[in-house]
Amino acid sequence: MTTADAGTWLHLLDAHGSAEAIEDLRRELIARGTAEDAVEDDAERAHRIQRRLAAHQRYIDELTVLDDLARRLTTLREPGDVLEEVAGQARRLLAVDVAYLMLVQPDDTLRTEVVSGAYGTGLRGIVLPRGTGLAGEVLRTGSPWTSEDCLADPAFPHDEAADLAADGEHLGGLLAVPLLAGGTTTGVLCAAARGRRRFGPHDVELAARLASHAAVAMSNARLFEQYRDAVSELEQANTSLRRTVESRQAVNDLRDRQSRQLIEGGRFADFLRELRRSVRGTVAAFDREDVLLDGDPGLELATLTGGVTGAAIAASQSAQLCVDGPRGPVVVTAIGLSTGYTGCVVATVTPEEGVDDVAGLSAVTATSLAVYVATQMSIYEADRRTRGELLGALMSTEQPEDTILRRAVSAGVGFDGLTAVAAFDLGGDTRAVAALAQQVADALGGWSAVYSGTAVALLTGATTDGVRAAVAKLTASAPAPTVGISAASGGVAGARAGVEAARQTVAVLEALGRPGECVLAGELGVYRSLFSTAGRGEIRAFVADTVGPLLDHDQGHGTDLAPTLTTFLTIGQNHRRAAAELHVHPNTLYRRLERITALLGDDWRKAPRTLEVQLALHLHALLDKV
């Protein structure tokens, strides 16, 4: 070979000439007359050098791609993105039609997570047990596996679903390598050709390098994901802690404000106003009868709570309930005293608030209200006892007037300006009747006290008709007690007379069998004579003159002539009906009537004597009751 020929071969190789270019040069040199044996040797040598240079260049390209892939994988933070990138690069580097990655599941199976180059979705989601399919063998052995025709290869157990998906993609040659992290197989990288293909050691090595990068990137992505989750959990915990601190601070601030209100003599509504400052929803308070104490007019407990009533709250073992109202959660907190359920505080929860936050604030308010109510009850009981003792002293003729007036000053009440007195019979619900008397006093001005079986309201500036109207209004929805109303004048004597007249009116109404009525003393007519000592004396004289012998006979002989005569006259002197009413034989009635005639004279059957006898018997019965 001449120097010129050698330079030609070197120039060709330096220019990365292909195998075809080498053949063209060989034919050209032979045609110019260069020794054929020498040209053939040089051409063969050039072919070897060209193959080495191409393999070397391909190796450099693969390393460049792997290096570039490694850098790109480090920038990916989502495991899904890493898998997609690895599958795409595997198709390009290994020159295959389909690439997919299968990851190990908690139950030690393999599941296809990402597929690149497939016609459809049949391969995605395929699950293989350990040792089943080519990928299952990789998981079992931890080593790469190849197959020239995966569907027909008997070297490994087949899975029907996997084979069906592979057949749908027309897969033949298959290469699978493990994804190793810390010596543990975490998944399998599979590369497949459509049609038969034999994968050589270089393909296996390249796939293994790619899988190694993928395993590291996946591990980093999962670590980043765990870090991100940990950061998110830490942020959530921090947010929760901050909310807890803020919630507790809000509760403490509310408790401090309401404690100052308790010390400074705040009113019931003041505590609810403070709660409204701390929550965004509707706030209301109800008594034990579900009557609205504080809140927007028209609010009802059952409407706010979706049907839960005070009775259900009182029966609950918990002092606080969270129920589903018409517009969302509702916190109901009982106001409890040692005497039992007294009422409740209701607060609706808005979407911007937490149920626990509203519950904590409501609990503080309910406790403050319980202390307030207990304090007011103690004050009321002390005032009630003091005023009751004052009223007892007023009605006692043994107490000097100056002593009564001093006690009135100590009790914070007085007798000046009195215009009316109302007496309420305590025969029913004592607490409710005493509260009614206080309500009347609050509405009309004055004060009330309980004395000797009646609740008495001493009123200033109200007329007797005005008092009756107030009583009717306050008892419109509940059974009314027997009420007596009397006009009164100021001073000790005027107050005493008014109280006595009102109480006697109640006694007369009860004696007449008219409970539950509200009557003015002036409306009793002739029965007012029962109010004074002189009047009662005159009535006793009238009774003695009219039916005295009859009454004396019953007392001396233990007979029932007076009741017999009362019944006989009441039913119109009908013998048969009277006998039936008295449960005696008609002959017995005749004998009794004969005895009555002997005692009273023959004219007791004739008017007006009959009316006088009947009135005397009626007044005698009242004298025993009033």
- Residue 462 sits in a domain whose CATH number is 3.30.70.270
Average pLDDT, the chain: 83
Do 110 and 46 share a structural domain?
no
Task: State percent of the chain over pLDDT 90.
Answer: 20
Q: Is residue 149 part of a domain?
A: yes
Burial of 572 (0-12, 13-18, 19+ CB in 10 A): exposed
Do 86 and 117 share a structural domain?
yes
Do 422 and 367 share a structural domain?
no
Do 287 and 315 share a structural domain?
yes
Do 203 and 97 share a structural domain?
yes
Identify the pLDDT of residue 336: 82
Token code pair at residue 406: 């001093």
Q: What is the mean pLDDT of the segment spanning 455-459? A: 93
Q: Is residue 260 part of a domain?
A: no
Do 584 and 508 share a structural domain?
no
The CATH number that applies at residue 306 is: 3.30.450.30
CA nearest neighbour of 325 among 309, 305, 349 = 305
Residue that finishes a domain, picked among 38, 63, 88: 63
Identify the pLDDT of residue 176: 92
Residue that finishes a domain, picked among 497, 525, 553: 525
- How far apart CA 378 and CA 550 sit, in angstroms, is 55
Q: Is residue 435 part of a domain?
A: yes
Range of the domain at 505: 414-525
CA nearest neighbour of 464 among 436, 513, 505, 525 = 505
What is the CB neighbour count within 10 angstroms for residue 182?
A: 7
Do 111 and 204 share a structural domain?
yes
Token code pair at residue 512: 């007449």
Q: Is residue 461 part of a domain?
A: yes
Q: Is residue 395 part of a domain?
A: no
Identify the pLDDT of residue 109: 92
CA nearest neighbour of 303 among 330, 273, 280 = 330
Confidence of residue 3 (pLDDT cuts 50, 70, 90): very low
Helix pair angle (561-570, 586-600), 10° resolution: 100
Residue 2 φ/ψ, nearest 5 degrees = -80, 165
Residue 76 in this model has a pLDDT that exceeds 50: no
Interval 238-282: pLDDT, tens:
877 787 777 788 888 888 888 898 888 888 889 889 899 988 899
Confidence of residue 174 (pLDDT cuts 50, 70, 90): very high
Instruction: Output the 3-class SS for 338-384.
Output: CCEEEEEEEEECCCCCCHHHHHHHHHHHHHHHHHHHHHHHHHHHHHH
Q: Is residue 118 part of a domain?
A: yes
Is the separation of the CB atoms in 575 and 589 below 8 Å? yes
Do 179 and 103 share a structural domain?
yes
Do 541 and 516 share a structural domain?
no
Q: Is residue 400 part of a domain?
A: no
Residue that finishes a domain, picked among 500, 525, 550: 525
Do 327 and 367 share a structural domain?
yes
Count of domains for the chain: 5
Q: Is residue 339 part of a domain?
A: yes
Residue 41 in this model has a pLDDT that exceeds 80: no
The CATH number that applies at residue 213 is: 3.30.450.40
Do 93 and 59 share a structural domain?
no
Angle formed at CA 554 by CA 550 and CA 560, multiple of 5 degrees: 100
Do 480 and 364 share a structural domain?
no
H/E run at residue 213: helix 201-264
